[in-house]
Amino acid sequence: MGASESELLIRQHLIDPEVCIRCNTCEETCPIDAITHDDRNYVVDPNICNGCNACVPPCPTGSIDHWRIIPKVAAYSVDDQLTWDELPPQQEIDGEAALPELSNDAVQQNAATSMSSAMAPRSAAQPHLHLHDVKNPLTATIAGNFRLTEADAESDIRHIVLDFGNQVFPVLEGQSIGIIPPGVDDSGKPHYMRLYSVASPRDGERQGHNNLSLTVKRVIADHEGQAIRGVASNYLCDLNKGDKVLVTGPYGSNFLMPNHAGSNLLMICTGTGAAPMRAMTEYRRRLADQGNPVPGKLMLFFGARAPQELPYFGPLRKLPESFITSHLAFSRVPGEPRTYVQDKLREQSKAVAQLLRSDTYIYICGLRGMEAGVMAALREICDASGFDWTFLHPNMVAEGRFHVETY
């Protein structure tokens, strides 16, 4: 006999408010608008969500991937969820009512249309994930904090080194860590954590040391240009050597580099999106310095408003062309036309097409607005070179060769 309405169980999809960084990725991803948010929390509407999973791989923290078996009549409403500071535990469930089947069609359809790879390159090292959370953060010590952008540059981007002493905190290039800013927000709740990409290789900012670096931009305006004081970025940028900082993570299981011979990296970034590219480049540079054959080609497209705003400009220019080819795009140099990374991609279309024909891994990182232009340029380059981006792109996604991280 089937379960009555009051016995019917559902698998309710919930978001962990303690780990969520309010990045909006899930809301943008959900194909049926089941996710909504207020000033504080991101929540899933149980009346809309069909459990398709499309929002799960893109979530950078894993906070989206929580499910509770619960009687349908007792499902947590959107209003309930908006008040939460933490997830409720799984309740004891009586009876043996069957769970409804989730829509596999929807899962497959949405996985296929996902723009970024939901899996790591096949030869990526195994990442450590979620070793520390907000309830159990690690305390790191600031070992250095210096400005990367020149004194006359508008933006203040900083290179911040965190030392972990004798605590274990293994990270890979492409992963992020969480930073918990001290204090409370306007509603009196503790500030939620923010994510920052690791800018150093797996063996440390200083090779063999238990430290890592971040590339942090001091946020003094929102994306619409209104003056604001970003909570975590200003906190980090103002830290001094010896200060302590609470760290969670590591996060990120997909945006990782391949390690096999012959794998090429095509890296496209703007601003602080340089952080994971610096980590990957530096890792391969160290391998080469140790006498290992360089596994593949590196090609970098890097955009900023002006040279004085480009983090790591000096060290980048010192790398030989035999190791990496770099193409810099500046959008606000007086007297010069505005140039963006997608323009540089088009300029180098022959070399890019050649890379795309081989065993190449694409990484895109930076401000959210860059994605559309870069995708259009890649499509054009393929069209002009006689192969089909509509076919290549989903293949690269499926093979863990196409990675996007924008914020």
Ligand X SMILES: Cc1cc2nc3c(=O)[nH]c(=O)nc-3n(C[C@H](O)[C@H](O)[C@H](O)COP(=O)(O)OP(=O)(O)OC[C@H]3O[C@@H](n4cnc5c(N)ncnc54)[C@H](O)[C@@H]3O)c2cc1C
Question: Contact positions toward ligand SF4, by CB under 6 A?
Answer: 13, 15, 20-26, 29-30, 32, 34-35, 42, 44, 49-55, 59-61, 63-64
Distance of CA 16 to the CA centre of its chain: 18
Please report, as residue ranges, which positions from 151 to 180 form the binding site for ligand X (by CB under 6 A): 176
Residue range at the interface with ligand X (CB under 6 A); choices 65-73, 230-238, 303-311, 334-342: 230-238
Q: Is the CA virtual torsion 24, 366, 311, 315 positive or negative? A: positive
Position closest to ligand X via CB = 230
Which has the closest alpha carbon to 362: 339, 346, 378? 378
The first and second tokens of residue 275, run together, are 């952080």
Supply the minimum distance, in Å, between the C-beta of residue 244 and ligand X: 18
257 binds ligand X (CB under 6 A): no
148 binds ligand X (CB under 6 A): no
Supply the minimum distance, in Å, between the C-beta of residue 103 and ligand SF4: 9
The correct pick among 215, 248, 263, 342 for binding ligand X (CB under 6 A) is 215
Which has the closest alpha carbon to 279: 262, 255, 261? 255
d(CA 249, CA 21): 12
Buried b (16+ CB within 10 A) or exposed e, 224-241: eeeeeebbbbbbbbebee
Site string for ligand X, 3-42 (x = CB under 6 A): ------------------x-x-------------------
Residue range at the interface with ligand X (CB under 6 A); choices 200-208, 227-235, 238-246, 285-293: 227-235
Residue number, 9 or 236, with CB nearest to ligand X: 236
Out of ligand SF4, ligand X, none, what residue 382 binds, judged by CB under 5 to 8 A for its kind, is: none
By DSSP bridging, strand 66-71 and strand 211-217 are unpaired
CA 46, 48, 51 angle in degrees (round to 5)? 75
Out of ligand SF4, ligand X, none, what residue 64 binds, judged by CB under 5 to 8 A for its kind, is: ligand SF4
Supply the minimum distance, in Å, between the C-beta of residue 394 and ligand X: 23
Which has the closest alpha carbon to 276: 252, 293, 296? 252
By DSSP bridging, strand 211-217 and strand 157-163 are antiparallel
Out of ligand SF4, ligand X, none, what residue 233 binds, judged by CB under 5 to 8 A for its kind, is: ligand X
Secondary structure class of 306 (helix, strand, coil): coil
Out of ligand SF4, ligand X, none, what residue 50 binds, judged by CB under 5 to 8 A for its kind, is: ligand SF4
The correct pick among 60, 71, 127, 249 for binding ligand X (CB under 6 A) is 60
Instruction: Reduce the secondary structure of 139-168 to three states and give it as a string.
Output: EEEEEEEEECCCCCCCCCEEEEEEECCCCC
Question: Could you tell me if 168 and 251 are in contact, meaning their C-beta atoms sit under 8 angstroms apart?
Answer: no
Out of ligand X, ligand SF4, none, what residue 178 binds, judged by CB under 5 to 8 A for its kind, is: none
Supply the minimum distance, in Å, between the C-beta of residue 49 and ligand SF4: 3
d(CA 326, CA 316): 8
Distance of CA 313 to the CA centre of its chain: 22
Supply the minimum distance, in Å, between the C-beta of residue 268 and ligand X: 15
Out of ligand X, ligand SF4, none, what residue 263 binds, judged by CB under 5 to 8 A for its kind, is: none
Out of ligand X, ligand SF4, none, what residue 297 binds, judged by CB under 5 to 8 A for its kind, is: none
Read off φ and ψ for residue 157, nearest 5 degrees. -110, 135
The first and second tokens of residue 9, run together, are 């169980």
250 binds ligand X (CB under 6 A): no
Supply the minimum distance, in Å, between the C-beta of residue 217 and ligand X: 4
Residue number, 275 or 378, with CB nearest to ligand X: 275
Span between the terminal Cα atoms of the chain, in Å: 50
Place of tokens 């196409």: 402
Supply the minimum distance, in Å, between the C-beta of residue 193 and ligand X: 9
Please report, as residue ranges, which positions from 264 to 303 form the binding site for ligand X (by CB under 6 A): 272, 275
The first and second tokens of residue 61, run together, are 């923290």
Residue range at the interface with ligand X (CB under 6 A); choices 2-10, 35-43, 228-236, 389-397: 228-236
239: left (phi over 0), alpha (psi -120 to 50) or beta: beta
Size of the site for ligand X (CB under 6 A): 24
Supply the minimum distance, in Å, between the C-beta of residue 219 and ligand X: 4
d(CA 298, CA 366): 18
Which has the closest alpha carbon to 302: 334, 271, 324, 265? 271
Residues that bind ligand X (CB under 6 A): 21, 23, 60, 176, 194-197, 215-217, 219, 222-223, 228, 230-234, 272, 275, 405, 407
